[in-house]
Amino acid sequence: MTPAQGMLKSRRLRTLAALAISWVPLGALRRLLWTVLLGYRIGRNTRIAFGVVLDIKTCSIADDVVISRWNTFRGPIDVSIGAGAFIGTRNQITCGWSTSETWAEGRAYRRAFTMAAAALINQEHIFDVVGSISIGEGTWIAGFRSQFMTHGAGVMDRDIAIGRACFFGSAVLVTPGSTVADNTLVAMGALVTRKFAEPGIIIGGVPAKPIGRREDGDYHFRKEWA
């Protein structure tokens, strides 16, 4: 820990610093402040836009990542984002700071958000990171306003795991403890309430169930950006 980071050990001071950095107009200066003051790791050629709030426990962002404006990362979360990932605008990746206090000990709150290489999150999605949320390589959380929830009264199986090369339509709700295997397509408006271990399927409905299979040679979602 550097002397500057030691001065910001207080959570309140770190929050104020994170908010202030998000309004700094120059991207290179924001990167320097995140690194020096808050101890975050940010890779080469990674672009984090004006208005992004990074107020979290730890942050490791690989090379060539794009994070667009007005995203919020807040809470005692360990965030890891893989190379070439893309995050659109106005997403919320959050967890209440109270989950790291003494009363929460023994409740297995993992508080981890992992986004693998070349994954994509579009716009206005909500990730409740009391447990852990992992998004596999090349997976798209596409569309708008999906919600991924990892807590609830009495819930202990709370972690959400999403496989590789999956595609989520708009307004999907994923409940605690749910998993989706590789190459799964999740239809718009689906309510995912359980573990789907079979890869290559299409799921949809309320609650979600298998409604088809992805054919060999099905379109692979990929985005290229400079």
Would 189 be classed as within a structural domain?
yes
| CATH number, domain with residue 133 | 2.160.10.10
Beta bridge partners of 92: 72, 126
- Residue 28 domain flag: no
119 domain residue, yes or no: yes
Tally of domains in the chain: 1
Instruction: Give the least confident one: 13-17, 29-33, 51-55, 119-123.
Output: 13-17
Looking at the whole model, is its pTM more than 0.85?
Answer: yes
Domain-embedded: residue 135: yes
Q: Is residue 92 part of a domain?
A: yes
What residues make up the domain containing 109? Answer: 41-213
Q: Is residue 1 part of a domain?
A: no
pLDDT tens for each residue of 12-29: 899 999 999 999 999 999
In a domain? residue 103: yes
| Residue 196: inside a domain | yes
- Report which of residues 81 and 97 the model is more confident about: 81
Region 50-60: what's the mean pLDDT? 97
pLDDT at 53 over 90: yes
Distance between CA atoms of residues 219 and 141, nearest Å: 16
Q: Mean per-residue pLDDT for 49-61?
A: 97
- Tell me if 113 sits within 8 A of 127, measured CB to CB: yes
- Helix, strand, coil: what percent of the chain each, to 5? 15, 35, 50
Q: What is the pLDDT of residue 59?
A: 98
